[in-house]
Amino acid sequence: MKKTIITLILGMLVGFVGLFAINSSDWLNISANHESKSELVREQLSEIQELTTLKYEYSNVIISRTDKSLSVLGSDFSFAEAIKLISYSGYLKAGTDLSKLDVKVDSDERVVVTLDQSIITDNVVEVDKTRVEDIEGELFSDYPSQLIFDEINKEREKIEMDKIEAGILEEADQQAKEMITNLLRASGYQTVEVKFR
């Protein structure tokens, strides 16, 4: 009888120790599981590298003038004027760098993604579509090619600033949030939170 009671007590003790070990193992496993899921999601999203969420195409026309003048006895005489009509097109891209994102998986159903705010990733003038036409030019007018590029670059930067003021970066953030949310929900996460820093 004593042997049976001791065996029963030892069996219960082994059972409690085993149960504790299993619970501790599950707890450690869940924590490691969330960390590995966070890393997996981060790797999958950062493979995209750059998420371009908006593309804005533009075209513009510039009138550019040069004139040569000769100073004689304190008076300037214009003797060669050139006027060029420059038409070009290009595009702006806005997006975010996904290689710098942070991912935290709280549970099997909830994930939090933190990424940088959107920036202008490209502002490209399509050179092959650029046209320069003479509107007015005289024999002695020498129109520098660099002036054409300077005019285009100045206008390109102006278009970029105008679009930023109009909210292209905020719109790109919203698009990035929607895209990442939809992607992660399709992967099985019920709650997806996207934050910007």
CA 119/CA 96 separation, integer angstroms: 6
CA 63/CA 136 separation, integer angstroms: 11
Is residue 5 over pLDDT 70? no
Report which of residues 1 and 128 the model is more confident about: 128
How high is the mean pLDDT of the chain?
A: 76
Report which of residues 142 and 16 the model is more confident about: 142
Whole-number percent of the chain with pLDDT over 70: 63
